[in-house]
Every structure is written in structure tokens, then in C-alpha cells.
């Protein structure tokens, strides 16, 4: 490990700082920003604890065992940086870019990752206990053997992530500023988090104009019906995300080779729903909707629903080329922001609560 004095001397030798070492808090924002990167710079064991390093560029540097505890690293770049066994406990990493970084066995306890990019990063064996992961990109990241107990997850992108042997005694599924966090605490048995959240092939349905509560409920019934009729495909509605521009629905399946097939089944079922949904698509425990229809006219229900754009995502996070007949071509983006439906279903259920008032059905007479 380097002392503060040795760290400053090393930085001066690399001509990234000048003058005497500050006596108090280091305020060296933009460190390394003048260079394209810091490839080959040997800063192993350097001590940056408590320093302000906003907008710094450490990309490519050797920072094994370095100390960044309590450091402010807003918008800092650590692209392809070796941070194995580094200490970033309680570091603030708002909008930091750590894509392709090596964070294996790093101490990330209580670190704050907000809008940070950890895509394809190696977090094998990292300690993330108590960390905040809010609107973070973890696409294709390796968290095998990592410990996320007590961490807070919200709006995390996990397409193609690897979580073999991940440790998670309990996790909070809410925003970091939530005052009643205990309401969103979920306890997991050993291996349960991995089983629930491991990356699976996904058919993503993108509705540019959004979905009404009626359409969302109807779509969930369609997907459930497809799953029951095709048990070997492992079809289940798992991901829901809605913003001001679009609604995305993720449908998980068991194998990559069934992506196009499942997409076609969903398309055909939705095409039929746009015209008229057979009343038996609804479960028997949903009498309230059926009561709105005259008993002798339980033949069909017409729902206003449009066809979405389909995107096919393999288990490793890559997209699959292919189209659905009479549907637009697949998109090429690999970024999928997901929130687990089973955990965050309260958000979706809030839409369903309006169902009783908004579910206006039209009987189709012969």
C-alpha cells in the first residue's frame, strides 16, 4: 500500500498533478482528463481516500488494491481499469463509467452507484453489501460469488448478467431516498436470488404509445394462456417498465432457440385480441369482468390494443436477428432496463386497481 505522500509523488511523476500535496482534502477533479486514458500507469495500492475526483479519467490504469473509500467520483471514468481488491467503500459513483473494469474481490460496501455504467464489468467475489444500485447498467456484468446483501436495487439493467453463486440474504427493491425501506425488503434463501433473477432469453414487447390498464391486464392473460398451452417453452411475463415515452414488457422463456417461436405466438394471440378476445382467455377467478357482460353474450370481448415492436434477447444479453410476420423488424439495442415483475408487481398492480373502473367491454353479437 502507498501512503498519501507516496501516492502524490507517483501522480507527480506521471505529470497528472503539480505542486505540493494538499494538507487537507484533495480536490483534484478532472485528474487524468487531459489524457485519452491512463493505460499503463502503475497506481497499485494508491491512497485516494476521501478525495474529490469528479470527472477524473483512470481508464486503463493499474489500481489493484487502491483505496477510494469515501471518495467523490462523480462522472469519473474507469473503463477497462484494474481495480481488483480495491477499496471503494462509501464512494460516490454518480454517473461513473466502470464498463469492462476489473472489480473482482473489491470492497464496494455502501458505495453509491447512481446512473453508473458497470456493463461487462468483472465483479466476481466483490462485496456490495449495503450498496446503492439505482438506474445502473449491469448488462453482461459478472457478479458470480459477489455479496449484495442489504443492497438497494432500482431500475437496474441486467441483460446477460452472470450471478452464479451470488450471495443475497436480503435486498431492498426501492429508490434510495425511500423513507420506509423496510416495506421493500425481500429476504432470500440460499440460491433463491440466483434462481429468480438469472438472465434468461427474453421476448421484449415495446409499446411506443404505452398501454392502458385494460390492455396490460389483457396482455398478461394472453401470455399466461400461452404458457399454459406450451409448458415446454417456459413462458412467463416477468418484466414491466413504463416511462413517459413507452411501455416495455419482458416475456422470459427457457431457451434461445424458442425466441422467434414465442414471439410469433404472442403476435398471433394479440392480433386476435385486437379483433376480439375469446372470453375464456380470462381466468375463472376473474368474475368481476365477466359480470359486466350479459350472460348469454360471453362470446368475446373487444379491447383497444396495438401491436408492439418485438425485440429478441438471448440469455447472454445479445440480440437475435429475426422478424415476426406482419410486425416491424427487431431492434438492435442490447440495453434492457428491467424490474422484476414478481418483486415490483405493486407498480403494475396500481394500474390494475383502476381496472374495475376502466374495463369497458363491448359484446360482440352474432
d(C-alpha 317, C-alpha 138), whole Å: 11
- C-beta separation of 113 from 95 below 8 A: no
- Give DSSP secondary structure letters for 46-107: -B-TT-B-TT-B-TT-B-TT-B-TT-B-TT-B-TT-B-TT-B-TT-B-TT-B-TT-B-TT-B
Distance from C-alpha of 144 to C-alpha of 104, rounded to nearest angstrom: 10
For the segment 219-269, what is each residue's pLDDT rounded down to a tens digit?
Answer: 998 999 999 999 999 999 887 888 778 888 999 999 999 999 999 999 998
Residue-wise pLDDT tens digits, 207-222:
987 888 888 888 998 9
For the segment 18-33, the average pLDDT, to the nearest whole number, is: 94
Cα gap 362→303, rounded to integer Å? 8
pLDDT band at 120 (very low <50, low <70, confident <90, very high): very high
> Pairing between strand 132-134 and 152-154?
parallel
pLDDT value at residue 337: 31
338 vs 82, more confident: 82
C-alpha distances out from residue 316 to 1, 155, 291, Å: 37, 19, 45
pLDDT at 44 over 50: yes
> What is the 8-class DSSP label of residue 153?
E
The rounded distance, in Å, linking the Cα atoms of 113 and 131 is: 8
What average pLDDT does the segment 11-36 reach? Answer: 93
pLDDT tens sequence across 133-145: 999 999 999 999 9
In the predicted structure, residue 361 carries a pLDDT above the cut 80: no
Closest Cα to residue 112, out of 101, 123, 128? 128
Angle 247-267-159 from CA coordinates, rounded to 5° = 50
Q: What is the pTM of this model?
A: 0.69
Place of cell 396482455: 219
Q: Which residue has the cell 489493484?
A: 64
Give the H/E segment covering residue 134.
strand 132-134
Burial-class residue 89 by CB neighbours within 10 Å (0-12, 13-18, 19+): buried
Amino acid at each position: 500500500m502507498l501512503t498519501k505522500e507516496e501516492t502524490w509523488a507517483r501522480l507527480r511523476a506521471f505529470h497528472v498533478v503539480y505542486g505540493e500535496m494538499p494538507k487537507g482534502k484533495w480536490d483534484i477533479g478532472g485528474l487524468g482528463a487531459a489524457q485519452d486514458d491512463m493505460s499503463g500507469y502503475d497506481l497499485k495500492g494508491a491512497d485516494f481516500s476521501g478525495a474529490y475526483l469528479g470527472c477524473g479519467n483512470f481508464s486503463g490504469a493499474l489500481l489493484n488494491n487502491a483505496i477510494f473509500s469515501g471518495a467523490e467520483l462523480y462522472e469519473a471514468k474507469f473503463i477497462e481499469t484494474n481495480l481488483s481488491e480495491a477499496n471503494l467503500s462509501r464512494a460516490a459513483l454518480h454517473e461513473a463509467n466502470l464498463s469492462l473494469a476489473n472489480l473482482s474481490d473489491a470492497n464496494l460496501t455502501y458505495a453509491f452507484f447512481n446512473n453508473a455504467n458497470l456493463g461487462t464489468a468483472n465483479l466476481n467475489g466483490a462485496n456490495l453489501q449495503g450498496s446503492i444500485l439505482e438506474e445502473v447498467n449491469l448488462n453482461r456484468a459478472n457478479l458470480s460469488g459477489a455479496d449484495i446483501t442489504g443492497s438497494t436495487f432500482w431500475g437496474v439493467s441486467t441483460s446477460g448478467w452472470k450471478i452464479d453463486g451470488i450471495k443475497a440474504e436480503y435486498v431492498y427493491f426501492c429508490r434510495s431516498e425511500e423513507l420506509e425501506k423496510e416495506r421493500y425488503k425481500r429476504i432470500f434463501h440460499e440460491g433463491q436470488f440466483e434462481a429468480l433473477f438469472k438472465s434468461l432469453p427474453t421476448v421484449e414487447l415495446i409499446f411506443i404509445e404505452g398501454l392502458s390498464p385494460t390492455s396490460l391486464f389483457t396482455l398478461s392473460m394472453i401470455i399466461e394462456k400461452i404458457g399454459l398451452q406450451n409448458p415446454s417453452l417456459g413462458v412467463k411475463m416477468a418484466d414491466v417498465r413504463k416511462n413517459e415515452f413507452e411501455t416495455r414488457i419482458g416475456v422470459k422463456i427457457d431457451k434461445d432457440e424458442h425466441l422467434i417461436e414465442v414471439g410469433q405466438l404472442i403476435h398471433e394471440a394479440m392480433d386476435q385480441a385486437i379483433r376480439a378476445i375469446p372470453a375464456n382467455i380470462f381466468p375463472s377467478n376473474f368474475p368481476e369482468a365477466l359480470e359486466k357482460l350479459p350472460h348469454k353474450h360471453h362470446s368475446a370481448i373487444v379491447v383497444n390494443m396495438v401491436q408492439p415492436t418485438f425485440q429478441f434477447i438471448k440469455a447472454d444479453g445479445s440480440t437475435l436477428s429475426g422478424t415476426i410476420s406482419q410486425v416491424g423488424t427487431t431492434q438492435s439495442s442490447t440495453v434492457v432496463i428491467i424490474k422484476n415483475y414478481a418483486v415490483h408487481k405493486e407498480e403494475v398492480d396500481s394500474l390494475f386497481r383502476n381496472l374495475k373502473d376502466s374495463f369497458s367491454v363491448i359484446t360482440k353479437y352474432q
